[in-house]
Amino acid sequence: MERKEILKNFQVESDIVSVEPYGSGHINHTYLVTAVSGKKYILQGINTSIFKNTKELMENVLGVTSYLRKEIEKNGGNPERETLTVVLTDDEKSYYTDAEGNAWRVYIFIEDAVTFDQVESKEDFYESGRAFGNFQAMLADYPADTLHETIPDFHNTAKRYLDFEKAVEKDVCGRVAEVAEEIAFVRQRKDEMSVLHELLAKGELPLRVTHNDTKLNNIMLDPKSHKAVCVIDLDTVMPGLSVHDFGDAIRFGANTAAEDEIDASKASLSLELFEIYVKGFLEGCNNRLTEKEVEMLPMGAKMMTLECGMRFLTDYLSGDTYFKTTREKHNLDRCRTQFALVADMEKKWQKMCEICIK
């Protein structure tokens, strides 16, 4: 169906002059919509091969954004800029399904705000930490257990380990022999992989609303002040652990090497960036985290990095069927970079803990 025809099913201005591809996202198809009046919207085709239950996905998004609007208003902020605004369909639904079965949604476009794919300055990394911390603080009283798991077992590291062992056992591509060192690296850390979930089960870590994709490019920044404006991309919002959100940001943003660096020896933890992010994140959290959560922040960083490396290795052993690759051994390079970062974290562990609890 033609995109302007799709828009006729939403509560948007009728005089649409353009619908153009927008952004650098890889999951959903995103378009910038402009009306005659100058009003702008974001139209997205939802990737239903990844998010198989659109109804549950949009219930999460609508529930969280509606709650955030109230919190932002309560704090004297501007909900039109500081959270996503879902535009409903003519029959008051949060998404529209076309004749071919494709699911679509519309957000109001947030003006005068930009995103960055890479950390360009320490200040931007601090701001992203503060924004994701503030996200935790504003949603601290939201009943996380009412959210749907849009991707089941997303950060269940122990389950990811079982998947890894199955891939080793099957060895469908005959690659096990060449990665004996990497396999041993994972197995040596097997006992740590259930630590965080055991703390959750014992009630020592609370269940939180988590974003689950805490990269810098999911924060919109003011182009002049570079202050955080809004947390975006709420598709992976689920019940989870705050330390996972923290940890994934560190894994991606405080590594001295690119995620797919060929020379893994270049990968290490920048303690300077780690400290900057901790400062922003804890300031944003505004004392809403428990002492145990703060204590476990370094473990969140280590587990997210180990889990990610393990997933890259599992995919390599399985024939590169999940992560997109652009060269031979791409997933193996990614895996080795993550494991080098884990090893460096272990060397700097004491300092990481001191930074978090000082």
Give pLDDT tens digits for 166-188: 999 999 999 999 999 999 999 99
Q: What is the C-alpha to C-alpha distance for residues 295 and 311, in angstroms, rounded to an integer?
A: 26
The confidence band for 116, taking pLDDT boundaries of 50, 70 and 90, is confident
Specify whether the CB–CB gap between 309 and 235 falls below 8 A.
no
Tell me what the mean pLDDT of segment 32-39 comes to: 95
With a threshold of 0.95, does the pTM exceed it?
no
The confidence band for 117, taking pLDDT boundaries of 50, 70 and 90, is confident
> Is a pLDDT exceeding 90 seen at residue 241?
yes
The confidence band for 47, taking pLDDT boundaries of 50, 70 and 90, is confident
> Is a pLDDT exceeding 90 seen at residue 96?
yes
> Is a pLDDT exceeding 70 seen at residue 1?
no
Can you give the pLDDT at residue 226?
87
Can you give the pLDDT at residue 191?
96
DSSP alpha helix (H) spans, the chain: 3-7, 54-74, 79-82, 122-138, 157-170, 180-188, 195-201, 242-253, 271-285, 291-295, 297-317, 330-347, 349-357
Domains of the chain: 3-108 (3.30.200.20), 122-357 (3.90.1200.10)
Structure tokens at 3: 């995109």
* 262-309 pLDDT tens trace: 999 999 999 999 999 999 999 999 999 999 999 999 999 999 999 999
Can you give the pLDDT at residue 120?
76
% of the chain beyond a pLDDT of 90: 87
SS3 for 245? helix
Through-space distance between the first and last CA atoms of the chain, rounded to whole angstroms: 57
Report which of 116, 119, 114, 132 is spatially closest to residue 258, judged by C-alpha positions: 119
Can you give the pLDDT at residue 118?
74
Can you give the pLDDT at residue 144?
97
The confidence band for 231, taking pLDDT boundaries of 50, 70 and 90, is very high
Lowest mean pLDDT among 19-28, 224-233, 342-351: 19-28
Name residue 105's beta-bridge partners. 44
Average pLDDT, the chain: 94
Higher pLDDT, 98 or 26: 98
